[in-house]
A and B are shown apart, each in its own frame.
Chain A
Amino acid sequence: MNPRLSRRRFLKAVIASSVAAASSAGLAGAYARQAHAQDGVRPAVERLISLNINGRTRRVDVLPQETLAYTLRYKLGLTGTKIGCNRGECGACTLLIDDVPNYSCSTLTHSVKSRSVLTVEGLQSVTGELHPVQQAFVDELAPQCGFCTPGQVMAAVGLLRANPRPTREEARQAMSGNLCRCGAYDHYLNGVMRAAEVSS
């Protein structure tokens, strides 16, 4: 039985009478038990859900607490999305949800039902042609170790969808939620600016 719940009930009871308090102990317990029984009545989330990932609908069995990064990497085999910190402190797991950059390590999979998820695997054209951002990052030798790159790519794609012709400073601000331990920021920004040019 959760302590504060019981304490609060206890307090109310004391003000009434301690006889009431005596029984309210049992009451609260019963209440709590009954509450959990009710879970059946109004259930929590369904585990088997459909996800729209890179334009495809995938049926997945998802635990209530599961993060999107975990579902992608461990259930759907989409390992392009990297887990650098699992804390929303690095951006390696960045992907787009309805075109908006998100940290998938800090997003519950159940919160993206009925929304479209785009990961780095979904950028290439059917003919295998690189997305302008990917091509620009190659041309500018933007990645070094490459572990933060998928996140950088997705942040850049998100930016260009919202703002096709950003200034370098706007790009810098928009990319700032992605850490690069190799310190390739300058090259990534060159890439973003190049991609903006070629795609417009």
Chain B
Amino acid sequence: MDVATYKEDIWGREVILGASWDLLWLVVVSAFVVIALHAVILAVRRRAARPSSAGPRVPRHSAVDRIFHWIMAVTVIVLLITGVFPIIGLEFSWLTIHWIAGLVLTASVVFHIVRSLFWQDLKAMWISARDLKEPFDATLKPGKYSVAQKSMHAAVTVLVLLVIGSGLVMFAMIDTPWWERSNSIAESTLGWVFLIHGLSTLALIALIALHIYFGLRPEKLFYTRSMIKGWISKEELEANHDPERWAPGKSS
């Protein structure tokens, strides 16, 4: 199975056409397998009592961050549906929805970047050497974000930036209310753009599958709640986090 598809360009030269969508199989299947394995392992492993969500609460996600997360969630899903379904045979008029959703995503990401650069604590997301020991040492508890969450965030950041970057180039190739398409980019260049867009999309699909899976796992469900309601219980905090490294209220 090729990673990219090729074609003969106008000059009779082989150039990249884009990502090979047969990879979609691989991605979906492997994501499923990983999830299944993880589920099984945790099922056999004896689990500790789950902390109660009752009692005093501490803030975890500010409203702004929650809104951003859900806008991003929705646009990404819309983009995946409008982008991928036509390719796998469900044809409908997708282009306009796709680029509008793309613009919304771009705008919200830009907002998030600016906000996190100037008004938020970048270190909160920084993966330190200590974080890497976390999974192997039960005594070590994470700060606001576990290393898994940080890695997920890092991966999503990279992929979303790639997909947005390549998407914007493609955006220049279509007619919009603001401009007539240029259509003057070389085919060989375009091929790479489509390849990047396609591959990062495929990776995002896998990542999002995992993200949703973990978001729905019973012992992690309170994080999802916190992304909706904004708070976690003191008990959940103490069970999963190191108060030394994350004291809710002080930093957002």
Chain A residues with Cβ under 8 A from B87's Cβ?
7
Q: Mark A1-33, 1 if CB is under 8 A from B, else 0.
A: 001101110110010001101100100000000
Q: Write out the residue numbers on chain A whose beta carbons fall within 8 Å of the beta carbon of B88.
A: 7, 10-11
Query: A115 CA to B89 CA in the complex, in Å?
Result: 42
Residues of A within 8 A of B (CB): 3-4, 6-8, 10-11, 14, 18-19, 21-22, 25
Q: Contacts A7-B88, A7-B89, A11-B90 hold; do A18 and B28 have CB atoms under 8 A apart?
A: yes
* A25 CA to B24 CA, complexed, in Å: 12
For the complex, give the distance between the alpha carbons of A22 and B87 in Å: 18
- From B22, B28, B32, A3 is in contact (CB under 8 Å) with B22
B22 CB contact (under 8 Å) in A6, A11, A18? A6
The interface size of chain B toward A, counting residues with CB under 8 Å, comes to: 11
Once A and B bind, how many residue pairs between them come within 8 Å at the CB atom?
A: 27
Q: Which residue of A lies closest to B31 (CB)?
A: A18
Mask, B14-33, CB within 8 Å of A = 1, is: 00000001101100110010
A19–B90 touching, CB < 8 Å: no
A10 touches B24 (CB 8 A): yes
* A19 / chain B contacts, CB cutoff of 8 Å: 32
List 13 interface pairs A-B (beta carbons < 8 Å), by A numbering.
A6-B22, A7-B21, A7-B88, A7-B89, A10-B24, A10-B88, A11-B88, A14-B28, A18-B28, A18-B32, A21-B25, A21-B29, A22-B32
Given the complex, which residues of A lie within 8 Å of B21, measured CB to CB?
Answer: 3, 7
Task: A7-B21, A18-B29 given; name 6 further pairs at CB < 8 Å.
Answer: A7-B87, A7-B89, A11-B90, A21-B25, A22-B32, A25-B25
CB-based nearest A residue for B85: A11
A3 / chain B contacts, CB cutoff of 8 Å: 21-22
Find out whether the CB atom of B25 lies under 8 angstroms from the CB atom of A10. Answer: yes
Which residues of A lie under 8 Å from residue B29 when comparing CB positions? Answer: 18, 21-22
